[in-house]
Chain A
Amino acid sequence: MTTRMDRWGRQFWAKAWLLGWGAAVSVQAQGMDRPCQEAFILDAPLSAHPTVWMVLSPRMPYALQEWPRMRQAARSIGFDVVALRDPRVPDLEWRAALEVADLPELVSAPPVDEVQAARLGVLNHAPASVVTYCGCRHPWPVLGVMPDQAWLTLLRARQADLSTESCAAS
């Protein structure tokens, strides 16, 4: 059973993470010159472990259907996987979709901050998946579902992009 504190904590960290993203907008606009931002608006250090944060929505046909497979594939190469919820999806709709999809583990997935998420383009398609590693996050979300090989190729590439700067500096 998920407690209220658990849920509050998840929401806090989700928002903290997204607020941190705000600083990364300019990085995305400039391409991959500096793929890592160390400054977070909130003091919410990210794990040094490779992690993929997946914004999910039942309004994209494949997002929930492919979530278990993509999560398992990411875990198979050592990633932690965190599910987040499209904030525009009402709670009742979210719960109903999870019931149909038989994914009760996602009930407590926190909604992301809508304003920040919109600015970063992670609301245009689901899943939109962002990789963090060594305390930094990659500015380019991975959009949509894809076969395992493509998915793992991108996760490894995002991790490698981050490791060249952030891990070397840490």
Chain B
Amino acid sequence: MKRPATGWAVTLLAGWSLTLAVAAPASDGGSDCIAPMTYIPLDARQVGAGNQGAPALGTYERVSPDGRFVLRSFSGARLGKVSLMELPAFDAAVVKIYLTPFSNEAFPVQGTWRYLVDVNGEHYRFADVLARQREARPLFRGGMIGFYAAASELADASPENSAPGTFHLRSLSWPQDANPDNQGVGPLQLETLQVRDDGQTARITDSTGARFVCGGRVAVDGDVYALPMISVDGLEFSAIPQRPATGAPTMRVYSLSASAMAREHPCELRADLGFSPGKAVFGFPTPAGGGALLIYSDVGYVYVFDRTLNQSFRLDHGKYRVLASAFPGLTRDGRVVYGASWRDCPQAGNCPEQAGYVVIDPYQSAAYRDHWRAQGQPAPKACITRREVLAERERFARFHKLPP
């Protein structure tokens, strides 16, 4: 693994960038570009103050595909355990805050955010939570629960063979099987649900049940994995084997079956970051293949790992004493969004600590541009444009029947 680039920001995916360059000519970097960095401070009068007077940031942020919403746990006394923050498209002020009926570490079904999932496995329609907030009601209950549970909606590879309104939700977590005879069968458990949703009601029509996975890797990677996270498309997961047979515990990516209701999974090693950072969260699949980006934080900084280049790139800070959350996210169009605390100037007496969200365009970072300059090539993409952001927000709003 190449050492992380410690310039001003991030470099991304040669393959993806090149593909985008072919599909859509690179912007000239003019006025249509979004800001390279936007710090969106929370207002303590809205979200409540933490114990030092700074706005309550919460933790375990999950970012919607369009970057418009952040689902956050530990939201503080004023907003309850879990809240939804609505972020602006370009400005630097939170638009709206929504309460939810959830318990801490509730999570979205990645990919679509069709459902939000409480820690007991109850699935709520996302749009219903926005509309009814704490009064929202669950549609059905199922899938994996437990430590670090996460879920994704599988893309339907053959929609012509699927009944309308039928979806597959795949979730991953720690083993919940108390049967000692089954211990040692595999280090993690996975379940795929088939759900029929008519737009009003939804129900589970089939399930694989909770299945141990990756038992075949025990001889190589041991029987305990830490910090598991399923990919946006549900076809991979990241985790750190805690007792590998050789080498050291490092963040790795493994494959899952593309067959929706598969009972067995290949668990082939797809990537090895070569070190042990915080939880590695997946970006969206890249059109050119080559593996989705991974994003993670490491001692307060956020990094993007480009699997095509096999290299991590650090996103530098635009404020003082920035401490990034452990759960950054990537939007479908490539923006990086994470929770953080910071100060606007170095003197604590003059600048109180702020907390909120940071939005970064990695294409406008010095590291990305330095990378291509070092290659002797123009950067395939100059920036993420306002048009691209608006398109993603429109797509997400249309999917969920929300006002844009």
- Tell me which of B20-28, B158-166, B276-284 binds A: B276-284
CB contact between B240 and one of A95, A143, A145 (< 8 Å): that residue? A143
Beta-carbon contact of A125 and B326 below 8 Å: yes
Q: Output the nearest chain A residue to B146 by Cβ-Cβ distance.
A: A147
Q: Which of B245-280 contact A (CB under 8 A)?
A: 246-249, 275-279
**Dominant secondary structure at the A interface:** loop
Residues on B with C-beta less than 8 A from A140 are 242, 248-249
Known contacts A92-B51, A153-B223, A154-B243, A125 near B59 by CB under 8 Å: no
Contact assessment for B60 and A125 in the assembled complex, using a CB-CB cutoff below 8 Å: no
Partner of B175, one of A59, A147, A157: A147
Contact between A157 and B243, CB atoms less than 8 A apart: yes
Q: Which of B59, B60, B105, B299 contacts A124 (CB 8 A)?
A: B299
B178 to chain A, nearest CB (A): 9
**CA A65 – CA B103 in complex, angstroms?**
13
In the complex, what distance in Å separates the CA atom of A53 from the CA atom of B40? 37
Given A93-B51, A143-B240, A154-B242; A125-B279 close (CB under 8 Å): yes
The answer to whether B183 has its CB under 8 Å from any CB of chain A is: yes
Q: Is there a chain A Cβ closer than 8 Å to B73's Cβ? A: yes
Contact check, A29 vs B248: say whether CB atoms are below 8 A apart.
yes
User: Within 8 Å CB of A39, what residues of B?
Assistant: none
When the two chains form their complex, are residues B277 and A124 in contact, meaning their CB atoms are under 8 A apart?
yes
Q: Which of A59, A88, A93, A145 has the most CB of B within 10 A?
A: A59
Least Cβ–Cβ distance between A146 and chain B, in angstroms: 6
Minimal beta-carbon separation of B59 from chain A (angstroms): 5
Contact (Cβ within 8 A) B278 A147: no
Residue of A30, A118, A150 contacting most chain B CB atoms (<10 Å): A150
The answer to whether A31 touches B227 (Cβ under 8 A) is: no
Q: Quick one: given A59-B59, A61-B74, A154-B242, are A144 and B227 in contact (CB under 8 Å)?
A: yes
Residue on A nearest B299 in the bound complex, by CB: A118
Q: Does B147 contact A (CB under 8 A)?
A: yes
Given the complex of chains A and B, what is the CA–CA distance between A145 and B174 in angstroms?
A: 10
Across-interface contacts of B246 in A (CB, < 8 A): 31
Docked pose: A60 CA to B187 CA in angstroms: 22
Q: Which residue of B lies closest to A95 (CB)?
A: B51
**CB proximity to B under 8 Å, residues A119-170:** 121, 123-125, 139-140, 142-147, 149-150, 153-154, 157
Asked if residues B278 and A124 are in contact (CB atoms below 8 Å), the reply is yes
Q: Closest approach, in angstroms, between the C-beta of B364 and any C-beta of chain A?
A: 27
A59 touches B242 (CB 8 A): no
Q: In the complex, are the beta carbons of A147 and B243 less than 8 A apart?
A: no
A61→B104 contact, CB < 8 A: yes
Nearest CB of A to B387, in Å = 36
Q: Is the CB of B326 within 8 A of A60?
A: yes
Residue B50 is within 8 A (CB to CB) of chain A in the complex: yes
Chain B residues with Cβ under 8 A from A103's Cβ? Answer: none
B226 touches A143 (CB 8 A): yes
A68 within 8 A of B: no
Task: Decide yes or no whether A96 CB sits under 8 A from chain B.
Answer: yes
Chain B interface (Cβ < 8 Å from any Cβ of A): 50-52, 59-60, 73-74, 104-105, 146-148, 174-175, 183, 187, 223-224, 226-227, 240, 242-243, 246-249, 275-279, 297-300, 323, 325-326
A and B contact pairs by CB, cutoff 8 A, 6 listed: A88-B323, A96-B51, A124-B277, A143-B249, A144-B227, A153-B223
